[in-house]
Amino acid sequence: MNTRISEKTSVISWQSGPSTAPLPPLAAGLPVLGNVIELADDVLRFLTKQYYKLGPIFRIRALNETYTVIAGRDANLFFAREGSKHFRSKEFWQGMDDELGAEVSLISSDGELHTRLRLLQKRGFGKAVIETQLPTVAELATKAVTQWPVGESRPVLSFIQDLVTEQLGAIIIGQGPGEYVADIRTFIRTALLVRVTRQRPGFLLYTPAYRRAKARSLELGRKIVEKHRRNPPIDRPTNLVDDALAAVAQGDLIKDTDLISLALGPYIAGLDTASNTIAFLLYALYKHPEVRKLVQAEAEALFADGIPTPEQLNRADVLHRTVLETLRRYPIAPAVQRTVTQPFEFAGYRVDAGQRIFIGTTVAHFLPNLHPDPYRFDIDRYLPPRNEHRTPGAFAPFSLGAHTCLGAGLAEIQIMLTVAALIHAGQFEIDPPDYQLKIRAVPNPAPNNNFRIRRVG
Ligand code: HEM
């Protein structure tokens, strides 16, 4: 099948099946290292630069591996429509399953198995889970501020990570990581860097610090599962772990050994995603006082009569547009990686089966024909008639296709409510006032630890 796309951008064709077209152009790189340094430094900047130089498909090298990259709006449309036919997640994510002792997981599965696992976890990660527990989310944020002495300055990211994992744990599986939070952080970060993105050497998995963090994290996972076994959902709502236990009892989808990974899932899913986005959003507020003023006013209105209702949050237009613009301008998942299962031709170049591929899903966020003046933080992009996020393929912070973030709806509400609760409960100043954003690139982009705020009221 030959598909042509003609909306708004150039016309790009793709075609399934083996092809005799040439291989995509190879990005210039260093001898031996290839593009390792640029990839480790800032994947998004590197992919966007190559897109402008080489077009929507090219190859990059990292040491002795070559990857194909497709990027831009048409790549996003191809990925969303044809991804399941051509790509597999397994190889990229499987190392994480191994570290967690699981045989299968949602993110590393494909096809029919993936569809069934997604259905199993849909309720547990659903929007209703947060909408019915807004007081828990808001109160944890408010408590974190009340425990922060006035005058003290703190690194934003780790403060937010602690809060976000506590919130997600409380609402999705009935408990936050509590005293295990540092272990979860070390375990997840190291496992992702070594086993998934492969940006750090394997020996890190043998260090005492990692082994201890892993053992403690798995211990927490076991405790969560046992607690659910002992207390079935008779006088409380059924949650993600209950659904998983029921599936184990049925016996044909997941096994006992997959439960720990499932129970730790909410922490893993939020640690480097919702947290990083909140940290970027706070940075944007302090750099754009005009937006901050509007968001502050909306936060005060939201909390004027106590904790906001889901309907009130739905109407919080400025906050919502600020979240959308943060997700566009500071995407925390700039690209996704897959293995090619079926060959195809894209924009006149061939991609063979077996290749590792990057889909640069958020390169489209920085194309001026889709988002004029793309590096400017501008929350009015989402107002009619601009509606820049509505052009298919132009906005993909949560990825696209079969593995699109299952927690996207929940995450948006969590981010909005947490930011509103924090700035309602306390007054903060960026520290130092002339701080310039430096992005920590791995495992996902986030403001680095020099981004601090001081509580001043
Ligand atoms: C700003 C916040 C977030 C962003 C930008 C984000 C982004 C993503 C992306 C890009 C993927 C796809 C990864 C891939 O295909 O390789 C993904 C998958 C997923 N996310 Fe999120 N995420 C966020 C927050 C969350 C939260 C808070 C949860 C749940 C608590 C969550 C749950 C999931 C799950 C379960 C998947 C796997 C879906 C599947 O494989 O079918 N995410 N997320």
pLDDT in tens, 363-377: 999 999 999 999 999
Judge contact between 19 and 347, C-beta under 8 A. no
Task: Give residue-wise pLDDT tens across range 441-457.
Answer: 888 999 999 999 999 99
Ligand 1: distance of its center to the CA of 333 in Å? 9
pLDDT at residue 32 in the model: 85
pLDDT at residue 382 in the model: 98
Judge contact between 241 and 220, C-beta under 8 A. no
411 lines ligand 1 (CB under 6 A): yes
Whole-angstrom Cα distance, residue 326 to residue 330?
A: 5
Three-state secondary-structure class, residue 368: coil
- Beta strand extents in 294-353 (DSSP E only): 336-340, 344-346, 349-351
Write out the two tokens for 284.
Answer: 């944007």
Domains in the chain, ordered, with CATH? Answer: 2-455 (1.10.630.10)
**pTM of the predicted protein model:** 0.95
Task: Give residue-wise pLDDT tens across range 57-98.
Answer: 999 999 889 999 999 999 999 999 999 999 999 999 999 999
Please tell me what DSSP assigns to residue 364.
G
266 lines ligand 1 (CB under 6 A): yes
CA atoms within 13 A on the CB side of 88: 16
One-letter identity of residue 338 = R
120 lines ligand 1 (CB under 6 A): no
Ligand 1: distance of its center to the CA of 397 in Å? 10
Region for 373 from its dihedrals, namely left if φ exceeds 0, alpha if ψ lies in -120 to 50, beta otherwise: left
- Kindly tell me the sign of the dihedral angle through the C-alpha atoms of 79, 81, 83, 86: negative
**Phi/psi at 299 (nearest 5 deg)?**
-65, -45
What is the residue with the minimal CA distance to atom 6 of ligand 1?
A: 398
Average pLDDT taken over every residue of the chain: 94
Task: Give residue-wise pLDDT tens across range 145-170.
Answer: 999 999 999 999 999 999 999 999 99
Whole-angstrom Cα distance, residue 284 to residue 112?
A: 41
Task: Give residue-wise pLDDT tens across range 230-259.
Answer: 999 999 999 999 999 999 999 989 999 999
Angle (deg, nearest 10), helices 208-230 and 90-100: 80
